[in-house]
Amino acid sequence: MNPLNTLRRLRLAHLLLGMMFFYGIEQLFLDHYLHNPAARGYVTIVYAAALVLFDVPAGMLADRFGRKPCLLAAALVQILSLVILGASQSLGLYLLGSVLFGLNISLFNGASQAYLYDWLAGQAAATRYAQLQGGMYAWWLVGAGLANALSGVLVVHGGLRSAYFLSVIPGALALPLLVSLPEARKPTEPATIWYAHLGEAWREIKGNWHLINFALQFVASGVVLLTIGEFGQIYLLSFSISSVTLGVYWAITAASAAGGRALAHHVQRRPRLVIATYCAVLAAFALTQRALGIGLFWLLYGLNEALSNVAETEIQDSASSHSRATLLSLVSFIGNAVAIPVILWFTGYYQAHGIKAANQLVGVAAIALLLITLLVRPRRGRTTAPVTSQPGLEKIG
């Protein structure tokens, strides 16, 4: 298959799988049907726990049996989870749907990242990974932004459940695109039993201070995403906005995230600048009590995606091919395991003291962790250099 066609199909699949119309109005659904002020916390904890449970096994499956089968399985699980979420009448059923949605994310993220890196390596273009992965995820976020912008309108005309059931359509459309993708090159090393494979990934992390440095940054950005980000709709609703406005505001959030991903490769060689800017915006957001905080929230969301992309690219670059998805999943596992007790605390604290006070304390903790990573001088990223060895790939932006 023509390299340009492969990348275009992968981009379109990301766009379609990102078009989840329920993202922009999920908090309204929880408030209306579940009538539990702690529902947001329960859903986020269960989702993070699903990531903890499935991240490493999903990465190992992608390494042992191929990236493409995991991508297809992710799309099928996503469709099933949407049906369960949309049909939920109780918190228990919604939590089951959240577990399946977490399984979908675990299967898709590790496999898609490893697929792109290995496929580019097979095209002698691995140095384009930072740019193309940022752009790939940006397409996913563009899909989310388009869906978010329409979610409020869907609620007005079709009800809250329609946002979930209509999300099945783009998920189904993504399936033939994933089927048509060529499998990325397979590792040449012999397969190992699962615990030896996991142990090898862990040994790659231990003692590699460059990798540990960026793993800490990846963890910090993940914790912020699962607290300040996941509870962001509660923050926006604290300014007394309508359902249509909430959908539009969440679409802007997705657009900011897409921008952060798409532009991250430009600052890949300046990780300290990314951290300094991120910390400054996070501090400003945590200290702001007025509506200006909404704008800072959007900016923070974009910077969080940029920081995550920079860290994830360096982790990819440090991993061997046959354990790449497993190593990424292991780092993600650690981040989500750290996030679960933080989410538990965050839920109780925001209920007692308000969402803005909870955001402040998470912001302080994240800034402290990120400042620690500055003590390790990172090497310059290798994934932004231009490549001309593969005809056609230089046309991809």
Q: What is the DSSP string of 66-80?
A: -HHHHHHHHHHHHHH
Residue 169 has pLDDT above 50, yes or no: yes
- Asked if residue 374 belongs to a domain, the reply is yes
The model's pTM: 0.74
397 belongs to a structural domain: no
Q: List, for residues 327-355, the tens digit of each pLDDT value.
A: 777 778 888 888 899 999 999 999 899 99
Task: Report the residue count for the chain.
Answer: 397
Answer yes or no: is 394 within a domain.
Answer: no
Q: How far is CA 81 from CA 121, 130, 280, 329, 386, in A?
A: 33, 30, 38, 21, 40
> 386 lies in a domain?
no
Nearest to 73 by CA among 84, 87, 58: 58
How many domains does the structure of the chain reveal? 1
CATH code (residue 338): 1.20.1250.20
* Burial bucket for residue 397 (CB in 10 Å: 0-12, 13-18, 19+): exposed
Q: Which of 19-23, 82-86, 257-261 has the highest mean pLDDT?
A: 82-86
Helix axes 194-205, 39-65, angle to 10 degrees: 110
pLDDT at 122: 77
Instruction: Give the residue with greater pLDDT, 382 vs 59.
Output: 59
Percent of the chain exceeding pLDDT 90 equals 37
Query: How much is the pLDDT for 7?
Result: 85
- Residues with Cβ within 8 Å of residue 331, at least 6 apart in sequence: 205, 215, 218, 219, 315
Q: Which two tokens stand for residue 216?
A: 């800490």
C-alpha dihedral sign at 99, 235, 278, 212: negative
Determine, yes or no, domain membership for 101: yes
What pLDDT does residue 382 have?
46
The larger pLDDT score, comparing residue 65 to residue 357, is at 357
Rg over alpha carbons for the chain, rounded to the nearest Å, is: 20
Q: How confident is the model at residue 99 (pLDDT cuts 50, 70, 90)?
A: very high
Is residue 119 predicted with pLDDT exceeding 90? no
> Does residue 194 surpass a pLDDT of 60?
no
Could you tell me the pLDDT band of residue 100, with boundaries at 50, 70 and 90? Answer: very high
**Residue 394 predicted with pLDDT over 60:** no
Q: Residue 49: inside a domain, yes or no?
A: yes
Compute the distance between CA of residue 49 and CA of residue 333 in angstroms, rounded to an integer. Answer: 9
Instruction: Count CA atoms within 13 Å of residue 290 on its CB side.
Output: 1
Segment 115-120 mean pLDDT: 81
Tokens of 327: 């190593």
Reported confidence tier of residue 3, pLDDT bands at 50, 70, 90: low
Residue-range definition of the domain harbouring residue 269: 3-186+197-379
pLDDT beyond 60 at 363: yes
pLDDT of amino acid 320: 62
pLDDT of 325 > 90? The answer is: no
Close Cβ partners of 161 (under 8 Å, ≥ 6 residues apart): 29, 86, 87
In this structure, is residue 317 part of a structural domain? yes
Written as six digits, the tokens of 360 are 């402040």
Instruction: Inform me whether the pLDDT recorded for 105 exceeds 70.
Output: yes
The answer as to whether 67 is a domain residue is: yes
Alpha-carbon distance values, 328 to 17, 306, 366 (Å): 21, 17, 21
Q: What is the pLDDT of residue 67?
A: 84
183 Rama sector, left if φ>0, alpha if ψ -120 to 50, beta otherwise: beta
How many Å apart are CA 329 and CA 57, to the nearest integer?
8
Q: How does residue 319 score in pLDDT terms, banded at 50, 70 and 90?
A: low
Average pLDDT of the residues of the chain:
82
What is the per-residue pLDDT for 37?
A: 76
pLDDT for position 380? 47
Instruction: Identify the band that residue 397 occupies on the pLDDT scale cut at 50, 70 and 90.
Output: very low
